[in-house]
Copies of this chain bind each other. A is one copy, B any other.
Amino acid sequence: MEKIAVFPGSFDPFTIGHESVLQRALPLFDKVIVMLGVNNTKKTLFSVEKRKQMIEDLFDSEPGVEVQIHDGLTIDFCRKVNATHILRGLRTSADFEYERAIAQVNKKMYNNIETIFLLTLPEHTPVNSSIVRDILNHNGDISIFIPKNLDIKKYMGNEND
């Protein structure tokens, strides 16, 4: 059976921590599908299309990575794409308690799915999208918190263009 993992998140933006987790997970799976969740009640800094493009650009030489936008429950997406696993990174024990609830509820709803966790690297532990957005909003330099090959300016700017 093909091993397909879904890597769900809002990735607003995709950080150096996300990149590392995804890279290190690739050898375990035939395919990893990055699922960009749509949450209409939360204002994002980057539009979901820009975020899709951002991640696709980063992994365009990686045939095992796909990016899809999904408006709905993660497990419904997993069913649709025949996923066997959900992939998540863990940074802190606060993360852990939040992720555990989500993962255990997902398994209750769809017993065929298994969530597996990778740790972020120690040096990436303090980095999260919310802090990165805050720095961006104040015109700070985020280059050390995002993937080396990510030219963030390319995805910013006039959302209405």
Contacts and interface: CB of A to CB of B under 8 A. Distances in A.
Interface of A: 1, 3, 24, 27-28, 72-73, 75-76, 84-85, 90, 92-94, 96-98, 100-105, 107-109, 114-119, 121-128, 131, 134-135, 138, 140-141, 144-145
A101 B128 contact: yes
Given A28-B28, A126-B101, A126-B105, A73 B135 contact: yes
A141 B101 contact: no
21 contacts: A3-B28, A27-B84, A28-B85, A90-B96, A90-B100, A92-B93, A92-B101, A94-B94, A94-B97, A101-B131, A104-B122, A105-B126, A105-B127, A105-B131, A109-B141, A116-B116, A117-B117, A117-B118, A117-B119, A122-B124, A123-B123
